[in-house]
Structure 1
Amino acid sequence: MTVRAATAADAEAMSVLLTEILESWKSERPRSPDYVRQHYIEHPDEIQCSVAVDEDGSIIGFQSLRMANEGNPYGVTPGWGIIGTYVKLGTARRGVGRALFAASRDAALKAGVSKIDASIGETNEKAVNYYEAMGFRTYRTKPGVICKCCELRNVSDSELATGVNS
């Protein structure tokens, strides 16, 4: 598996992956290739959108990291990062999420971001556990949503590699 920056040419495959996930959640959220390109790859607040690609060149996950600006839809403190992660169904425990977060963490640090928010549906236990393993801790809740924060200075490379929480 390799992790690289997403490009507009990845929008179709990312859309397929996102559609599978959203259908499993019974979600009506947008997922078209145009939406993926505009909302994740080319969003004006995007710091980095990364894709994980397996040995045959298929995208098996992606992670979006954007800058929280004033008035963002999540109510995240301006200057923080906002992260979203999507990993192909059936690929759990292969290190995809960990590899994606390593790339996002590096991009956040280069952009001067020291805190990242992950706003997670309260019933999405896999995502809650994933973000906990990456060093995120609950800092607030909203109806139906758990908001977790990762303070990057508290997550070392060795902790990220081993999955040890800070």
Structure 2
Amino acid sequence: MIHIRPAGPIDAAPMADLLNAIIAAGGTTAMTDPVTPAMLKDWMRATPGTAAWHLAEDNGGTLLGFQWIEPKDALPPEACDIATFVQIGRAKLGIGSALFDRTRDAAISLGYRWINATIRADNTGGLAYYQSRGFETYDIRRNVPLPGGVTVDRISKRFDL
């Protein structure tokens, strides 16, 4: 069974471990440098009252994934940005769907009118996930440089609340 709950600073270490495994594997996130628990705690504190963090865990309390929304300077004030990370090897098991149900409700409660997801064009799993939630493409940025010299297209998708 998947349990969804708000994430907090106490969850930063296992969340950093999960995210660092995804970063190390490469190809699904624009992040290329490892994160620390302190960084995640800082991100959580950076946007009080305008962000929401949720995590998914199993019956034993093992972290399966996490998701957050927050405002971004590049977006209008009625929009928030979303990030989703699921434990490697655990995709397509309903974790992302369960997280999004809670995150969507949080976005509405925070007063947002739409959610932005920007995904690497080579992240077919991420593109399929957001498409299956009802996100629609509204922008494509070509040849976006990432640290380390890799360039990727970035696809922005929108979910109207």
Scaled by the length of structure 1, what TM-score is found?
A: 0.83
Per the alignment, residue 29 of structure 1 pairs with 33
2:58 to 29, 39, 54: 54
Per the alignment, residue 21 of structure 2 pairs with 20
Distance 1:88 1:116 in 2: 23
Structure 1, unaligned runs of 5 or more: 153-166
- 3-state SS, counterpart of residue 88 of structure 2: coil
- Residue 11 (structure 2) pairs with residue 10 (structure 1): yes
Residue 38 of structure 1: how far off its partner (Å): 1.4
Where relative contact order (Cα < 8 A, 6+ residues apart) is larger, the structure is 2
Q: Deviations over 1:92-135 (max 9, x none)?
A: 12110001000110001111111100011111110000000011
Query: Higher strand proportion, which one?
Result: 2
Per the alignment, residue 149 of structure 2 pairs with none
How many percent of aligned residue pairs carry the same amino acid? Answer: 31
Distance 2:67 2:46 in 1: 13
- Between Structure 1 and Structure 2, how many residues are aligned? 146
Scaled by the length of structure 2, what TM-score is found?
A: 0.85
Q: Deviations over 1:33-53 (max 9, x none)?
A: 1111212x3222642100001
Structure 2, unaligned runs of 5 or more: 143-152
Per the alignment, residue 135 of structure 1 pairs with 134
How well do the aligned residues superpose, as a CA RMSD in angstroms? 1.4
Distance 1:109 1:15 in 2: 27
Residue 79 of structure 1: how far off its partner (Å): 2.1
Residue 25 of structure 1: how far off its partner (Å): 0.6
Residue 151 of structure 1: how far off its partner (Å): 0.6
Distance 2:126 2:83 in 1: 10
- Residue 118 (structure 2) pairs with residue 119 (structure 1): yes
